[in-house]
Amino acid sequence: MKLIFMGPPGAGKGTQAQILASHWKIPHISTGDILRACVVAKTALGLKAKAYMDAGELVPDELLMDIVQERMNQPDASAGWILDGFPRTVAQAAFFDKLLCDVSGAGGSTSGKDCALRAVNLEVPDNILVARLLSRGRLDDNEETIRRRLQVYREQTEPLIEFYSARQQLVAVDGDRDMELITAELQQSLSIDS
């Protein structure tokens, strides 16, 4: 089970990823959580990332790629995972595709199936997203920053929908429903292919 959870900020990626990771007993890898932990710990990476996050901008590819590569090499990720918050650009997706095949190949297996993954896109209207994000009460969530993050998402991350759709790896889900309905649909649609 190798899944990427996509969707704009506030779509419910983290919530659904946690539920399903627990259900399937695989790690939920959230680049946002890793970055926030680095910021709190005031690591070199955290200090670099904080300036971008505070401005509502995406953290540069090279910083995220280092984090992801390090995390994917940990033993608990060998049996599968749900990745939340990466990739966010087509360049990152191309890097990740190569990384996945390298990690799979490192275990002695080079079949194309080991490089296969599914990308889940949670679709939610912008007005719902803004309301959800404002209700979270995070320090970096004010309406101006949220709207900037949504704009950045549309410009830089939405092209991933076409990237994964063209590879027949995309699963689109209506994220503006009760959490339980979304979870049930994801379990059903993803379990068929696992």
**Active-site annotation, residues:** 13, 88, 136, 138, 149
Spell out a b/e string for 25-61, using b for 16 or more CB atoms within 10 Å of the CB, else e.
ebbbbbbeebbbebbeeeeebbebbbeebeebebbee
Q: Would you tell me how many other CB atoms lie within 10 Å of the CB of residue 166? A: 9
- The DSSP bridge pattern shows strands 118-123 and 170-174 to be parallel
CA distances to 116, 121, 171 from 159, in Å: 19, 12, 15
CA distances to 83, 134, 142 from 117, in Å: 11, 32, 34
Could you tell me if 79 and 26 are in contact, meaning their C-beta atoms sit under 8 angstroms apart? yes
Residues 83 and 87: their CA atoms lie apart, in Å, by: 8
The DSSP code for 28 is: E
